[in-house]
Amino acid sequence: MRPKIYLFGDSITEASFADGGWGSSLANHFSRTADVVLRGYSGYNTRWALKVKEKVLHPSESSRSPAAVLVFFGANDACIPDRSSAFQHVPLEEYKQNLHAIVAFLKKQWPSSCILLITPPPIDEAARLLHPLSDNSSGLSERTNEAAGNYSKACLAVASECGVAAVDLWTKMQQFPGWQKAYLVDGLHLTEKGSKVLFEEVVARLKEEGISLESLPVDQPLLSDIDAEDPLKSFENCYLRYEGGGMR
């Protein structure tokens, strides 16, 4: 069976299979080597993720451990507690504890899987004021870039403490001039350019963890490996591992 790569996160994950999304780019990238499985839930924070993790990441869905599980929460946890999206807020220390619990759950259920934590993205506060989730009588952004940065640092700390991989999206995106408009649709969700940044970071980090087009077996013989004189012969031992365009 093909290995799987799970994407577990909030709306930035749920929307990742849209045109030009980072999830659809991953699915295309691994199209002959792994199945990319979407488990994104708009508005969710780590507190809610803990409530559903057994239902949405159930071992019966895969007869073996997936190649990787990407965990992408924090943008909602980081909502400011006294503003319009306060119901989504999770205190920083609880956020860390929740991430620890999610990682522990994944390690116990799928011991051989690569776990990759992704930090929340940076926030364009001016743009968030133009796209409020609900009535915003305070006139203040429900998220701030400073808070997102604090949760990003917490996410990276958990990755280090748990010995798992991480992508620092918050820092990476802010290295680009004009990131607010070029990489964010509404001050929070990713544009195609923003998705490309995340896609490239994820592919690079997975490769460091040994998960790449070069390391994963290709599903069924490649066209380039099929003998034009005797095509069916190539399928006689198709259980053999295909890798890098050749058969072993």
What's the CA gap between 166 and 120, in Å, rounded? Answer: 11
What's the CA gap between 34 and 159, in Å, rounded? Answer: 24
Spatial contact of 168 and 205, defined as CB atoms under 8 Å apart? no
Spatial contact of 194 and 186, defined as CB atoms under 8 Å apart? no
What SS3 string covers 184-195? ECCCCCECHHHH
Annotated active-site residue 189? The verdict is: yes
What's the CA gap between 199 and 219, in Å, rounded? Answer: 22
* Catalytic residue, candidates 25, 62, 124, 189: 189
Please tell me whether residue 32 adopts helix, strand or coil conformation.
coil
* Catalytic residue, candidates 11, 24, 65, 215: 11
37-66 burial code (b ≥16 CB/10 A, e <16): bbbbbeebbbbbbbeebeeebeeeebeebb
What's the CA gap between 9 and 16, in Å, rounded? Answer: 10
* Catalytic residue, candidates 31, 42, 186, 225: 186
Spatial contact of 118 and 198, defined as CB atoms under 8 Å apart? yes
Q: Going by C-beta distance under 8 Å and a sequence separation of 6 or more, which residues neighbour residue 100? A: 158, 161, 162
Annotated active-site residue 186? The verdict is: yes
Structure tokens at 153: 């640092």
Catalytic residues: 11, 186, 189
